[in-house]
Amino acid sequence: MSRFQKKTPVWEGISRALTADIAEGRYTPGDKLPTEAELSARFGVNRHTVRHALKDMAETGLVHARRGSGVYVAQRPTDYPIGKRVRFHRNLQQAGRLPAKETLSIETRAADQREAEALHLNKGDPVHVYEGLSLADGQPIVMFRSAFPAERYPDLLEHLTFSKSVTAALKACGVEDYTRASTRLTAKRATTTQALHLRIREGDPILRSVGINVDANRVPTEYGVSWFAGDRVTLTLSDPE
Amino acid sequence: MSRFQKKTPVWEGISRALTADIAEGRYTPGDKLPTEAELSARFGVNRHTVRHALKDMAETGLVHARRGSGVYVAQRPTDYPIGKRVRFHRNLQQAGRLPAKETLSIETRAADQREAEALHLNKGDPVHVYEGLSLADGQPIVMFRSAFPAERYPDLLEHLTFSKSVTAALKACGVEDYTRASTRLTAKRATTTQALHLRIREGDPILRSVGINVDANRVPTEYGVSWFAGDRVTLTLSDPE
DNA sequence: GTGTATTTGTTCGTATGTATT
DNA sequence: TAATACATACGAACAAATACA
């Protein structure tokens, strides 16, 4: 019977061994695997054979390599629910991940055409513009730029500077609740600045979301554009019940 | 820094810039682009370089040139509403565009892990798989692959071959209505085959949507993956009321 | 910033075993 | 049997991105 047995390739055994290591928690997401040189020594094979195994694992999305740096256990893509209410921190905390926010810039300036249209303003009316970066477990997930009508929320910027939370800042300005009125999604290439902030490569795919939030009276509160790192996030539209 | 700069051809940058202009609505369908002379002045390059970019865009169908007249935008990016019900033909017809569908392949095969999970089957159970291409005004918009439980809808393939309409084929199998239970979105790069079918360039950004449809009893009817050409489509999530 | 070592990515070449024609 | 194609495995060298003193 043994003559009918398939002998499994060496690289496949290595792939399984490393996959088991990850599955059993000896390497956790974000960890760097040993270098190809170390692995080829450990398994007693040529570096190409290790590379074959790693390539196989990369194709299934289990690991990803960074040239000059190493091979890393992939983070599972962050599930980012979008629906009637979009709340970054709560979303991530419920997923058991550590949310963080970095402020890139805060300013008040004249609204451009799109902003004015979305917020029911006239072009040139003042808007507060809040640019920042949201992270999960220290990894940049999404870059955003939100515009708020300045005359309606005069002291929003102070609150934003203090709390970094849009929900809290709006609440301080008298907006008890807000919901997503419309969302438009498309796939783009990362520009140089986006790539820099999201720590991806220029030209990498990003998911651009353009959304309008409204308050309980359906008055627009926020016009926001978000750029999600394509391979780090999956937007989920859950069943509207 | 500059010595690490990418060596992408100048014409490609121009092509991307103009494509972005169109995608973002600065030129709308039927609009005449600036003359080649004006464009070469604006980008500071020779007219031949602009021609190269325009030729590239014409090949993807985004613009078309008329000798002695000018270069015109062939079409606007398609607004594609997704929500509780996703109906390709109806969506496009309401947008005043001409929908079409091309069948790439139809087969029955064993379900893989994901398909089985989504459709509440066991891995290896038979599924009908329908691959195709949807077009608007002759332009490929989205490539899709849908899997249906074969044992639940034995003669679905016949109806699909005949009508090309998923809604009609399911109706013929006794499914009066179906709704979208979940949708997952992410941005990816186009593979070679995707680029070929969607008539874009390899590596161009695409928006991948993974969805599960269920019937009135919330039994899964369809597990579908769609790849939208990023430049040609904007997904719109309308306010769930 | 600069230079150097490290690490992955790519491309040559060599050899062997297996399956197909 | 011979010719061919393909997958596997090893070796060497260099390119490109990164990390670090």
Q: What are the angstrom distances between the C-alpha of A146 and each of A97, A115, A130, A138? A: 24, 9, 5, 22
As a whole number, mean pLDDT of residues B116-130 equals: 89
Which nucleotide in the DNA or RNA is closest to residue A65, CA to C1'?
C8
The single residue listed with the structure tokens 């640019």 is A131
A31-64: b or e for each residue (b if 16 or more CB lie within 10 Å)?
A: eebeebeebbeebebeeebbbbbbebbeeeebbe
What does the pLDDT look like over B15-66, one tens digit per residue? Answer: 888 888 877 777 877 678 888 888 888 888 888 888 888 887 776 657 777 6
- DSSP per-residue string spanning A162-175: HH--HHHHHHHTT-
| Highest mean predicted confidence (pLDDT) among A190-204, B189-203, B209-223 | B209-223
**Nearest residue by alpha-carbon distance to C1' of D19:** A69
Any atom of strand C under 7 A from CB of A52?
no
Q: What is the pLDDT of residue B127?
A: 92
For chain B, give every domain's residue range. Answer: 10-73, 78-237
pLDDT given at position A3: 37
CA B156 to C1' D2, in angstroms, rounded, equals 50
Whole-number distance in Å between A196 CA and D20 C1'? 21
Q: Please determine, for residue A201, whether its predicted confidence score (pLDDT) is greater than 70.
A: yes
pLDDT at B28: 75
Q: What is the pLDDT of residue A88?
A: 72
Confidence at residue B77, expressed as pLDDT on a 0 to 100 scale? 67
Selecting from 3.40.50.150, 3.40.109.10, 1.10.10.10, 1.10.3720.10, what CATH number does the domain B10-73 have?
1.10.10.10
Residue A2: predicted pLDDT: 35
DSSP letters for A31-86: PBPPPHHHHHHHHTS-HHHHHHHHHHHHHTTSEEEETTTEEEEPPPPEEEE-SS--
Checking if the pLDDT of A240 tops 90, the result is no
Would the CB atoms of B205 and A205 count as touching at under 8 Å?
yes
How large is the average pLDDT for residues A127-154? Answer: 89
Say whether B239 and A187 touch across the interface (CB within 8 A): no
CA B165 to chain centre: 17
| Mean residue pLDDT across chain A | 85
Contacts of B234 in chain A (CB under 8 A): 184-186
Q: Give me the DSSP letters along A174-241.
A: T---EEEEEEEEEEEE--HHHHHHHTS-TT-EEEEEEEEEEETTS-EEEEEEEEEETTTEEEEEEPP-
pLDDT digits over A210-220, tens only?
A: 999 999 999 99
Asked whether residue B6 carries a pLDDT value surpassing 50, the answer given is no
pLDDT at position A118 over 90: yes
Q: What is the DSSP letter of A134?
A: E
pLDDT number for residue B59: 64
CB contact under 8 A, B240 and A239: no
B111 C-beta neighbours (distance < 10 Å), count: 22
Q: Is B199 left (phi over 0), alpha (psi -120 to 50) or beta?
A: left
- Two structure tokens written together for B180: 């979208």
Does strand C come within 7 Å of the CB of A74? no
Q: Do B186 and A77 touch (CB under 8 A)?
A: yes
User: Using a CB-CB distance cutoff of 8 angstroms, which residues of chain A are in contact with residue B77?
Assistant: 186
- Mean pLDDT of the A198-223 span: 89
- Identify each DSSP E strand in chain B by its residue range: 63-66, 70-73, 78-81, 99-110, 126-136, 139-149, 178-189, 205-215, 220-229, 233-238
CA B194, C1' C4: Å apart? 43
Asked if residues B29 and B75 have their Cβ atoms less than 8 Å apart, the reply is yes
pLDDT, average across residues B155-159: 88
Query: What confidence tier does B8 reach under pLDDT thresholds 50, 70, 90?
Result: low
Question: How does DSSP classify residue B177?
Answer: -
Q: For the domain bounded by B78-237, which CATH number is listed?
A: 3.40.1410.10
A140 vs B49: CA distance, rounded Å: 37
Q: What average pLDDT does this structure show over B178-205?
A: 85
User: Can you give the pLDDT at residue B79?
Assistant: 79
Question: Please, which positions of strand D sit below 7 A from a protein CB?
Answer: 7-12, 16-19
> To the nearest whole angstrom, how far is the Cα of A36 from the nearest Cα of chain B?
26
Nearest residue for D7, CA–C1': A9
Cβ atoms within 10 Å, residue A101 = 15
pLDDT beyond 50 at B2:
no
Residue A5 approaches strand C within 7 Å at CB: no
Q: Do A205 and B189 touch (CB under 8 A)?
A: yes
Domain pair B10-73 / B78-237, same fold: no
Q: Is the CB of A3 under 7 A from strand C?
A: no
Higher pLDDT, B114 or A144: A144
Task: Decide if A237 and B236 are in contact by the 8 Å CB cutoff.
Answer: no
B230 and A186 in contact by Cβ < 8 A?
Answer: yes
pLDDT at B162: 81
Identify from B186, B202, B210 which residue to disrupt to test chain A contact, counting A C-beta atoms within 10 A and taking the largest count: B186
Closest to B146 measured CA to CA, from B103, B189, B186: B103
Residue A6 has pLDDT above 60, yes or no: no
